[in-house]
Chains A and B, each alone.
Chain A
Amino acid sequence: MKPTQLLITLLVAALMLLLLGVLVGSTGFESGMLTAPDPAQQQILWDIRLPRSLGAWLAGALLGLAGAVAQGLFRNPLADPYLLGPSAGAGLGVAFALVALGLSPAAAAFSLKLGLTGAAFIGAMAAMMLTLVLARGVEQTLRLLLAGVIVGVVLGSGTTLLMLMKPDIMRAMQVFMLGTTGFLSWQSAELLGPVLLLTLLTAMGASRALDALTLGEATAHSLGVRLGLVRVTLIAVLALATGTAVAQTGLVAFVGLVAPHLVRSNCHGRHNALLLLSALTGGALLLAADILARGLIAPQELPVGVLTSLLGGGYLLMLMHRRRTGGSA
């Protein structure tokens, strides 16, 4: 498929999914929702379902973009947005906030002011900073990866310890770890939208450097790419995109890893196209998962992260299998 074809397909998919998103809710699928004159229905449509669907798409797009950036920057097909430890950091931040809610009223007041989204964002950013400090900057890719793994493991065990000590935060933590799109509001969408625009444009501005990087760091350097600057910029993009998405939706699994692979297996293009298409794919994937999460066992909900893993993982497996048996791709 040509990049423009895929672009159009993904945009159409986004629109269709958004439409489907406002029709599916706690009562299952309702086609009469759009024209219902009842103000309560209208409120549910405009204040709950639309921002939720839009927010899910935007968060998925951020994760898809972050995944494409991470895989390009580290030249590693297994890289995902959580590579530098933000997931563990966000988890620990949320765990601390939840514990604080149960402590003294002063701590609870502070925790409420900051909110779980704030705590997740700060935790994610702090973890990435820690990774950068441990790796002593961004010069060495391998060091960065290892530092990210270490930060992830250490902070993750901190979270587990907190959960063991205060089991009443367990349920809330589980929800965060599996990802949740339930409370996405207009405020979330208003935050996610500009961040997506900013990070997408910045990343696409650096896409030539990413193209050069596919030939290896030395070659990229000899081609005149200012590696230091590119790394710092792209890591900032990675941090901001991941941190914002995680703060709003929790640790949604797999979208960031799978979205760039889905794009690559469908069309070959430069990073310019890959970044944009990965974002659109990530958005479609998370929104589709969100719709299934609320629709399948309505009025109950499935954790959206479980569905992203099933959808993304299943599709990727299918592609791999087809490629092996078909002998061409």
Chain B
Amino acid sequence: MTLPTFSNAHRLAIQLALRLALGAIPGLLLWSAQAAPVKVADVQGHVLQWDAPPRRIVSLMPSLTESICALGACDRLVGVDRYSNYPAQVNQLPKLGGIDDTQVETIVALRPDVVVVTPYSRVQDRLSALGLKVLVLETRSQEDVQRGFQTLGQMLAVPDALQVWHRIEADMNAKAADVPASLRGMRVYFEVDSAPYAAGESSFIGEILGQLGLRNVVGRELGPFPKLNPEFVVRANPQIIMVGQRNVGGMDGRPGWRGIDALQAQRLCVFAPEESELITRPGPRMAEAAGLIVQCLRRLDPAAPGPGKTRPRS
């Protein structure tokens, strides 16, 4: 597929129109407090510049949407991808498709000052060619999320972007302190999908599990989401298994799995679909994600009071 090629004159006219629009908005709003020029560099080394912090933002990744909102700029979003659903107010915005079927035309029609995407988005070249500013941010690890906060904070001229991040970190530490001592250091297996794909130590989920003091049976050398030989899990014999509701069914029917410690002792954390979504989304709600995991661990704690001690809900 190719784009219709614009003649130079057309291109100039569009750019001129965009410039005028960009220039006019801050003036009209008498938006002088933050109207200083901003300049940021993204993960691909593109340097982007604005005369004033962008007012119209399109985000094409749920976690980036959440980061933008966490920085208090939710009302500057004018459109998001189909899967952005938090905070609730982004559900009112135009949905612009997913990674494979992004609606380029609608995005252009929204006249955004910036489109925030991940490196896996297929549309960044087309959007740049159409004269839009495209900010590329990575969201695979906590470090990525932190760097994303910094970049977005610079772009939005939010002075305390890193403080927001530090608050999240403090929350994380508080959650980690709540992990029952009896479960600390246990071998854990987090199944992302029943192939089986696991979340390894180097994945975002793996980082959270590590911070909570659990030992991941899938080491760093296997990469973030390896497709494992199911026999590997039987051999590693995890003491806790974490899995989404959609994959828990039939787990003890897999050849040889019945004997795994976690299944014998029913030390299972089963997450509902919306919980799985939260846990697997690398963004500012990672302390909340850690909270969900800790909640489950506390239910599994043999020392915990209450009836039916280790029965997970499913």
Contacts and interface: CB of A to CB of B under 8 A. Distances in A.
A26 B227 CA distance: 12
B194 A300 contact: no
Contact of B232 (A175, A183, A299): A299
Interface in B236-261: 245-247, 249-250, 253-256, 259
A160 to B, nearest CB: 10
Contact of B249 (A27, A49, A112): A112
B246 A108 contact: yes
A298 interface: yes
From DSSP, what is the main secondary structure of chain A's interface residues?
Answer: helix
A20 B14 CA distance: 66
A98 interface: yes
Interface in A165-211: 167-168, 171-172, 175, 180, 182-186
Nearest to B273: A102
A11 B195 CA distance: 31
A274 to B, nearest CB: 34
Interface residues of B, number: 33
Contacts of B273: 102, 168
Contact of B227 (A43, A164, A167, A300): A300
Nearest to A101: B246
B231 A185 contact: no
Range class of the A interface residue count: 35 or more
A48 B246 contact: no
B230 A300 contact: no
A180 B195 contact: yes
Contacts of B223: 300
Contacts of A139: none
A175 B235 contact: no
Given A44-B256, A101-B246, A172-B193, A164 B232 contact: no
A164 B234 contact: no
Contacts of A172: 193-195
A129 B193 CA distance: 32
Interface in A46-62: 47-49, 51-52
Contacts of A183: 230, 254-255
A91 interface: no
A48 B197 CA distance: 18
A261 interface: no
B186 interface: no
Interface string B189-212: 000111111000000000000000
Nearest to B225: A171
A112 B101 CA distance: 31
Nearest to A41: B235
From DSSP, what is the main secondary structure of chain B's interface residues?
Answer: mixed
A115 interface: yes
A294 interface: yes
Contact of B254 (A102, A167, A185): A185
A299 B138 CA distance: 28
B204 to A, nearest CB: 16
Interface in A256-312: 294, 298-301, 303
A185 B255 contact: yes
Interface in B243-295: 245-247, 249-250, 253-256, 259, 273, 277
A27 B227 CA distance: 15
A299 B229 CA distance: 6
A301 B250 contact: no
Contacts of A43: 234, 256, 259
Given A49-B231, A167-B98, A182 B245 contact: no
Contacts of B245: 101, 108
Contacts of B247: 101
A300 B226 contact: yes
A182 B229 contact: yes
A48 B230 contact: yes
Contacts of A298: 229, 232
Interface string B79-92: 00001000000000
B100 interface: yes
Given A167-B83, A184-B255, A48 B231 contact: yes
Contacts of A102: 246, 273
A174 to B, nearest CB: 8
Nearest to B229: A26
Contact of A300 (B98, B222, B235): B222
Contacts of A27: 235
A26 B235 contact: yes
A165 B231 CA distance: 32
A150 to B, nearest CB: 24
Given A25-B229, A101-B249, A185-B255, 13 more contacts: A26-B228, A26-B231, A40-B235, A108-B245, A115-B250, A172-B195, A175-B195, A180-B195, A182-B230, A183-B254, A183-B255, A300-B223, A303-B227
Q: Report the 4 A-B pairs with minimum CB-CB distance, sorted nearest first.
A: A26-B232, A299-B232, A112-B249, A101-B246
28 contacts: A25-B231, A26-B229, A27-B235, A43-B256, A43-B259, A44-B231, A48-B231, A48-B234, A48-B256, A51-B255, A108-B245, A112-B250, A164-B98, A164-B101, A172-B194, A175-B195, A175-B227, A182-B196, A182-B229, A182-B230, A184-B255, A185-B255, A298-B232, A299-B222, A299-B226, A299-B232, A300-B222, A300-B229
